Amino acid sequence: MALKPFHNRLAELWTIEQRRKLTDDEVKEMVHCLHANASYCWRMAGLEDLSFIAYTVNDTEWQRDICSEIQALQFGRGI
């Protein structure tokens, strides 16, 4: 899985929080990163479910399209 910028920033904010209390702006940023992460995870889970359905019904063209969307989400456009 390719890390997205919000993954890196979330890790930074968590590390900072281990040493001191986050500022109000940092807390807002952490919430924003958590939202982006949740959206990414739900989108990926939905695509993986669709890929499994396509596999189950033996629709290889549909499955290839879904896999392309998964790769685009992981490595290109999207969240």
CB within 8 Å of 4: residues ≥ 6 apart? 36, 40, 79
How far is 3 from 10, CA to CA, in rounded Å? 11
CA angle 43, 14, 40 (to 5 degrees): 5
**Reported pTM:** 0.83
**49-61: pLDDT as tens digits:** 999 999 999 999 9
**pLDDT bucket at 22, cuts 50 / 70 / 90:** very high
